[in-house]
Structure 1
Amino acid sequence: MKIYNFEDSLLTDTQRGIEIVAPHLKKVEGIYGYVDSSFDDSYIPVISGGGAGHEPSDWGFVGGNMLTASITGKLFEPPMPEEIIKVAKAVTKKKRAFFIIKNFEKDVRVFKQAIEYLRNIGWSIEYGIVNDDISVDASSLRKYRRGLAGTILIEKIIGTLAKKGKSLVDLKMVCEQLLPETKTIGLAFSDSILYKKSCHTLSLGKDDIYYGIGIHGEAGYRKEHWQKSELMAREIVNKMRLNFRWQKKENVALLVNNIGKISPMEELTFTADITELLELEGLNIPFIKTGSFMTSHDMSGISVSILRLQDKWLEYLKQPSTCYAWPNSI
């Protein structure tokens, strides 16, 4: 059973709902773009986007101390370059912006095309490409590391810094510091079935787990039969340890993301298991968020993002936001 009116109206119907639950957003006419209506153009606007099907990302994070605007394409497809340009022009008259891009080939291509155009007409643009996925180990394959839910933590910190009046150079510098310290790995329990397509994006049996999946149903690194939550959490923490090579007493932020179809009880159980294992590693976790931040349409799964904290990053994460999808409770 699915909740929709018509497959062809899924995006426009979603937009109807967005305009009801997030009245602080100003719609950019003719596209699936939104701007924070309270944005002060004396600050650098921070813009992100991608395909539909990952709600509440990215529109749900448009608001004070996060994104200034978002642009959404079709289901699992990035927006067109001209749509990105239209949103940028709707945001600011100052001809400057900072873009946060997820590392998928199509996304990077269309955003770079938009950035090139804007620079050619006199805009000052900087950007960061988030590749927090750690399902690929080999350094030679690093370019294939996808942009996953760790993007949300980066959007929060960069958005807060922009609201503090930081320059494009400052935002670029901090973003470059954040990228290698942000890592995500996810697991799926069922396929994401694309509308208008009869095939599944993954091949999962009823009791299978697939580690390392992407948010469009891209393949992971290993399939296994169902295991209890603690063992799944152990696999994630082991993978994180290999990638971070952390030291005891380091401070980290933890984001447990419900990719879809996971009940609150399951989500909290998994969060508890992940947290306890990280504490056994000797890590301090002063910041924990759990919920639906970056989903995958019709997929059942969960992901874990960890940010190794530096400088004032924790302070920026804790700054309240006016956006729809960021939980302000600490």
Structure 2
Amino acid sequence: MIFLKKLINNPEQVVRDMIDGMVLAHPDKLKNLPGTNVMIRAHAPVQGKVALVSGGGSGHEPSHAGYVGVGMLDAAVAGEVFTSPTPDQILEAIKAVDTGNGVLLIIKNYSGDLMNFEMAAELAEAEGIQVAKVVVNDDVAVENSTYTTGRRGIAGTVFVHKIAGALAEKGASLEEVEQVANKVIQHVRSMGVAFTPCTVPAAGKPSFEIGETEMEIGIGIHGEPGTHRTAMASADEIADILLSRILDDMKLSPGDQVAVMINGLGGTPLMELYILNKKVSQILKNKDISVYNTYVGEYMTAIEMAGCSITLLKLDDQLIELLEAPADTIAWKN
């Protein structure tokens, strides 16, 4: 028998227990659709507003239910840990938040998510609901992985939630909200590193093995392999490795403005994330790239994995306005 040091009851019930605990903690912001793993805003949908629905496997908290609320998502669908939510659950989310002007699905680029969200979209359209879809693929580390064809969607997804959500809150059309979501996707890049594995409760053992003195560069948020494994390095060296790959892909110019996200994967202290951010800020300053705003914390995790990711979002006046627009969710407040 494997003994898990986790604050859980039944390994098969962690998602259900988490959802119940979340609603009890935040009844003013969230409610759970009965009989589902769907979280929606606590208050009635705003009539005529384009609705935003996202989701994915659990284990990435605060993503995705942490971003349900004014100025961001209208619903989030939780799958089992590291497992895509089912089409029927996604369909229930779409139906619960649609008020007639359409629903935008924000999907991270994983095979299961793509298949299930697309199937749900077809079912919703058959019921007369207008649906648009965007696919987030911000991870510059690898083009293909265990879970994907093409680049993975990771922490940059949170910027898509924020900016598309802000425009929807202003009363924009489904086409306009889809366009700005795709604009963010075109201008956001991320890359991560891991120092330890994580353990899916139902599996009862770490999802991969890594040596005590090693780190995995470019790892995915489910523990998918990265570009290479190397000896543990300093925070400054890690910042150089990750940021150089991001900047090579983004082709920023001197004078450009960016938003920076230093995201913890679940087992990295804030102290260390701020140390990493110091070097990231120095590198960008030396390249005459202006940091408009910096977000340091846990935005999209991988259960208890020690590690982090860096995300850059290239900004313009429209994106700055929407980034600064009001939002009120568990995990993001403006």
Partners of 1:9 and 1:170 lie apart in 2 by: 39
For the pair 1:17 / 2:37, whether they are aligned, the reply is: no
- 2:298: which partner in 1? 292
- 2:243: which partner in 1? 237
Tell me if structure 2 keeps the 8 A contact 1:61–1:325.
Answer: yes
How big is the shift at 1:282?
1.1
How big is the shift at 1:18?
0.6
For the pair 1:104 / 2:110, whether they are aligned, the reply is: yes
How big is the shift at 1:311?
3.3
Query: Which of 38, 41, 49 is residue 36 of structure 1 equivalent to?
Result: 41
Render the CA deviation track for 1:157-179: whole Å, top value 9, x for unaligned: 00000000000111122122221
Partners of 1:196 and 1:64 lie apart in 2 by: 34
How big is the shift at 1:245?
1.3
**SS across alignment from 1:48:** strand
Partners of 1:179 and 1:256 lie apart in 2 by: 18
Query: Which of 48, 60, 65 is residue 59 of structure 1 equivalent to?
Result: 65
Tell me if structure 2 keeps the 8 A contact 1:44–1:165.
Answer: yes
**SS across alignment from 2:206:** coil
For the pair 1:8 / 2:44, whether they are aligned, the reply is: no
**SS across alignment from 2:317:** coil
Partners of 2:325 and 2:231 lie apart in 1 by: 41
How big is the shift at 1:93?
4.0
For the pair 1:72 / 2:78, whether they are aligned, the reply is: yes
Query: Which of 196, 206, 215 is residue 190 of structure 1 equivalent to?
Result: 196
Tell me if structure 2 keeps the 8 A contact 1:97–1:168.
Answer: yes
Render the CA deviation track for 1:120-166: whole Å, top value 9, x for unaligned: 2221111110000100269xxx9420110000001100000000000
Tell me if structure 2 keeps the 8 A contact 1:134–1:145.
Answer: yes
Query: Which of 305, 315, 329 is residue 309 of structure 1 equivalent to?
Result: 315
Partners of 1:74 and 1:92 lie apart in 2 by: 24
Partners of 1:59 and 1:253 lie apart in 2 by: 22
Partners of 2:42 and 2:143 lie apart in 1 by: 42
Q: TM-score, normalised by structure 1?
A: 0.95
- 1:178: which partner in 2? 184
For the pair 1:216 / 2:222, whether they are aligned, the reply is: yes
Tell me if structure 2 keeps the 8 A contact 1:202–1:219.
Answer: no
Partners of 1:197 and 1:322 lie apart in 2 by: 35
Is the deviation greater in 291-300 or in 148-157? 291-300
- 1:118: which partner in 2? 124
In structure 2, list runs of 5 or more residues that go unmatched.
Answer: none
Partners of 1:79 and 1:95 lie apart in 2 by: 24
Partners of 2:250 and 2:97 lie apart in 1 by: 37
Number of residue pairs aligned between Structure 1 and Structure 2: 325
Tell me if structure 2 keeps the 8 A contact 1:287–1:314.
Answer: no
Percent identity, aligned pairs only, is 30
Partners of 2:241 and 2:302 lie apart in 1 by: 21
Amino acid at match of 2:33: V
Partners of 2:265 and 2:333 lie apart in 1 by: 17
**SS across alignment from 2:221:** coil
**SS across alignment from 2:211:** coil
Is the deviation greater in 191-200 or in 168-177? 191-200
How big is the shift at 1:80?
0.6
